[in-house]
Structure 1
């Protein structure tokens, strides 16, 4: 994970997802095959400026360097909160570069609210 002081508390993706779920964050923002970012069960197509990254967690596999994942806690301009989950490195969930470009253009807040 990104925050070194949290390593002993939350070390796995599933632990962080459970904690987020307890705070009401259970839905995902996902990019579809048309490179449109949508909130789960919604038809709204988001632009990066309509979203804010509240927290970033990175996970690295102990036994396999390909077991890398990143989880972003996201808030949209209407106050909806969700997450984006992606493997990173050679096995990204998204190909073609549109996803990475989209993420780079989302403003970052890195709120202490999600320091578990």
Structure 2
């Protein structure tokens, strides 16, 4: 799935992604995701779409909504805020790795 347009709000993006089957609400913890009490290795997921939001005056209002799929067919949503991984170096590296794979797939 390639981003065709940008949803006006984070809420709208999440609602639309859920209507497309992205039903797992993922949270990033170090090098893995958690959802519904289960742990999923982050390296099993890839970004299929993302939406960035910037606050009009405050960088703390920035967020990114990720649509992620796993090799096992799971579809989930991850929302990160500005500095969300600032205290978690491994989490920051995990996001960078996912971005790298996403950027490589967009070029090919």
TM bucket, shorter chain: 0.7 to 0.9
2:17 corresponds, among 8, 17, 20, to 20
Residue 6 of structure 1 corresponds to: 5
Residue 93 of structure 1 corresponds to: 84
TM-score, structure 2 as length reference: 0.76
Shift of 1:21: 1.6
**Residue segments in structure 1 that go unaligned for 5+ positions in a row:** 111-116
Change (3 A) 1:98 1:19: same
Which 4+ stretches in 1 moved above 4 angstroms? none
Further displaced range: 22-31 or 38-47: 38-47
From the two aligned structures, give the one with the greater strand fraction. Answer: 2
Shift of 1:72: 1.0
Shift of 1:63: 3.4
How many correspondences in the alignment? 99
Residue 75 of structure 1 corresponds to: 69
Structure 2 CA distance for aligned equivalents of residues 39 and 81 of structure 1 = 13
SS of alignment partner, residue 72 of structure 1 = strand
Do the aligned residues in 2 keep the contact of 1:87 with 1:93 (CA within 8 Å)? yes
**Residue segments in structure 2 that go unaligned for 5+ positions in a row:** none
Shift of 1:46: 0.3
Shift of 1:93: 2.3
Shift of 1:22: 1.5
